Amino acid sequence: MTQSPLDAILARLFELHPKKIDLSINRTQRLLANLGDPQKRLPRTIHVAGTNGKGSTVAFLRAILEAAGQRVHVYTSPHLLRFNERIRLAGKLVDDATLLAALERIERVNAGEPITFFEAGTAAAFDLFAETPADWLLLEVGLGGRFDSTNVIEHPAACVITPVSHDHADFLGDTIESIAFEKGGIFKRGAQGVIGYQSDEALRVLEGCARRAGAPCIFAERDFNVREENGRLIFDDERGLLDLAAPKLPGRHQFQNAATAIATLRAIAPEIPNAAFDAGMKSVDWPARLQRVSRGRLVGLAPAGSEIWIDGGHNEDGARVAAEAMGERATRSEAPLVLVCGLLANKDARGYLAHFTDLANRVIAVPPPGDQYGRAPANVAEVARDLGLFASEATTIEEALAQVAKSHWREPPRILICGSLYLAGAALALNGSEIA
């Protein structure tokens, strides 16, 4: 199959630096300087870092701001189906022609110098954000914070840290304290700091990072809090209570992500009306985060009447919130739980699967597609069996669902496709889903 011009240039950029991840801002700074420093011409920016929940928090911020009539740029990663998903210009995903022109400019200006794929994409995004009018930019950190290429911005309106937990130990360290230190590297003097729900270990480090940077901070559970009451979200800060619709995104953890977004905007944009917060809870969308699939090819491959869920959470904390959500579903409607699970080689398979030992009836291990760093299904299945779970292997999602379809179930199963954003993207592609 012939590559499209967009796919071809993405492939060329991928080859400019041999390491998939090489944390540094120097290459990005050089390239941006040659582009005329577009990062200095951005709209009001909210910079978001964290191990879990940063994408969901960005989704809440976007939904609230757009409900208030604001034009919003968004930069997130990775993508699920198309690279375009990473860049949203004033509310709309960047189109192929605009993205291709931006990447061609990056390639030309970079002139063959070493640059990682993520850095090139970030530079292209900044170039587009600077040239397209908008009121806000929501900027998600790629990895870490301190040396992430997004951290070239100098004067964000707010710097937000969502929950910090173990992940990417080979780049960020193997303790919560070391990981929190890297995340806390995004704080800037005078920019509003917002520290979401954290462990005590992470909180101490983040508070120190903010203090040294000269960033005034508000803290979850200290300056703002949230609770569920009668199926509603109740937010509380020094300005008073907000009684809002429950978040459209499933899972109890989304109440905390929503609260962090609400607190951020209440601190830096007091003009946002209360109605926009309520509308944002109802309209928020973030694919592959405990997303239920009710139509498409996956439904046809699974036993009739099955529930199908897709979740891209890929670390122990991500497994915890997914397991909690599945446990809550089980209390409302009992059904056998099947995990179709694919993990990367650098993830803790035991730590991930341990959260499902009292929930899952079966684990079918599959390889995360399109990534050479995937953990072998045989290894995932072995870990599952060691934890007392019934496990098998499959080469694809289709084969895994065929195994489910051939099995006898007392009632239609609840199927969770999980463990990797690569796998989640493949599941959405197989289903025929689109992201707009």
Tens digits of per-residue pLDDT, 89-128?
Answer: 999 999 999 999 999 999 999 999 989 999 999 999 999 9
Q: How far apart are CA 380 and CA 427, in angstroms?
A: 19
Tokens representing residue 258 in the block: 């929503």
Residues 6+ apart with CB under 8 A from 243: 232, 233, 234
Looking at residue 276, what is its pLDDT? Answer: 98
CA–CA distance, 72 with 88 (Å, rounded to integer): 8
* pLDDT for position 3: 81
Domains in the chain, please, with CATH? 5-283 (3.40.1190.10), 291-431 (3.90.190.20)
Mean pLDDT value across the chain? 94
**pLDDT at residue 429 in the model:** 96
Residue 171: its pLDDT value, please?
A: 58
Q: What is the pLDDT of residue 227?
A: 97
pTM over 0.85: yes
DSSP 8-class letter at 39? G
pLDDT of residue 18: 59
- Prior bond of 78 cis (ω within 30°): yes
Query: Which one-letter amino acid corresponds to residue 106?
Result: I
Helices (H) and strands (E) in the chain, counts: 16, 17
pLDDT at 174: 77
Which parts of the chain sit beneath pLDDT 70?
1, 18-21, 167-173, 371-372
For residue 13, the model assigns a pLDDT of: 87
Residue 316 contacts by C-beta under 8 Å, 6 or more apart in sequence? 165, 166, 348, 351, 352, 355
pLDDT number for residue 23: 75
Q: Rounded to an integer, what distance in angstroms lies between the CA atom of residue 80 and that of residue 400?
A: 20
pLDDT score at 170: 59
Q: What is the pLDDT of residue 165?
A: 87
**φ, ψ (nearest 5 deg) of residue 248:** -65, -30
